[in-house]
Structure 1
Amino acid sequence: MNLEKLLCAELKRQLEAKGACVMQVPAGGELLWRWFLDLSRTRRAGLAGPEPISYGEIEAYARSTCWPVEPRHIAVLRAMDEVWMEYAREKTTPAPEGVKTLPPISTTPLTAGMLDVMLGG
C-alpha cells in the first residue's frame, strides 16, 4: 500500500474514533501529516461549511515554511483533504423533520440578476 493510501486510512480512522485514539502515522508520513494538520487549521468556512484546502494555501504554506513541497506531496495533501471533507459533509447536522433544506450546491444557473442580488447591486 502506498503512503497516500496509508495516510488517508489513518486520517479516516482518527476522524471516526469515538474517544481517545493512539495515532499511528505510517513511517515516512510524519512530515506530510504535520503539513496537513497545519493547513487544516487554516481552513476557511463558507456558507456551506468548511472549504477544501486550496492550492494557493498549500503554495503559501510551502513558501512561508521553506519546505520543498513537490507535486507528489500536493497529491497526498489533497487526498487527505478529500477524506476530511467527506467526513465533514457526513457530520453535517440534518435539519429537523419537516424543515425544507437546500442542496449545498445550487443547480440553478447563475444569472446577472442573481449576481446583482448577491452583491447588492
Structure 2
Amino acid sequence: MPAAGEHVWRWFKELDRARAGTGFGINPIAWQEIDAWARCRKVDPSQWEIDALISLDSLRMELFYAAKGKDNADEPQVSERPLTSRLFDALFPKKRK
C-alpha cells in the first residue's frame, strides 16, 4: 500500500469490521454506512478516497465469494437427509391464526 493511501486502508478495515451480512455471506458496504462512518469519525473523504473504498470493497467481495465457492465445491447442493414429515413440520410450522 502506498504511504499516501494507508489511511484509506485503515478506513476500509474499520468499515469492513462493521459490514452487514446474511447467513449466505457478506453484503457490500452501503453508501449509508460510509456516510455514517464519516460523520462519526468527523472525516470528509475526497472523491478518490471514496472511489478507493468502493474498489477495495468490490475486491473484498470478489475474494470472499471466490473462496466460498472453492470451499463448497465438493459439497452437495441438496441435503442428503431425507425430508420426513417431522422435519418438514420443524422447518415450516403451522401459522397460528
TM-score, scaled relative to structure 2 = 0.71
Q: Unaligned stretches of 5+ in structure 2?
A: 79-94
Aligned identity (percent) is 34
Q: Show the counterpart of 1:67.
A: 43
What is the CA–CA distance in structure 2 between the aligned matches of 1:83 and 1:75, rounded to whole Å? 12
Higher helix share: 2
Q: How does 1:40-55 map to 2 (within 5 A)?
A: 40-55=16-31
What residue identity is the alignment partner of 1:30? Answer: E
Q: RCO greater where, 1 or 2, for CA within 8 Å and sep 6 or more?
A: 1
Give TM-score scaled by structure 1 length: 0.58
Distance 2:6 2:74 in 1: 41
Matched, 1:100 2:77: yes
1:52 offset after TM fit, Å?
1.0
Larger Rg: 2
Corresponding pairs, count: 77
**Counterpart-to-counterpart distance in 1, 2:74 and 2:8:** 39
Could you list the structure 1 runs, at least 4 aligned residues long, displaced by more than 4 angstroms after superposition. Answer: none
Amino acid at match of 1:80: L
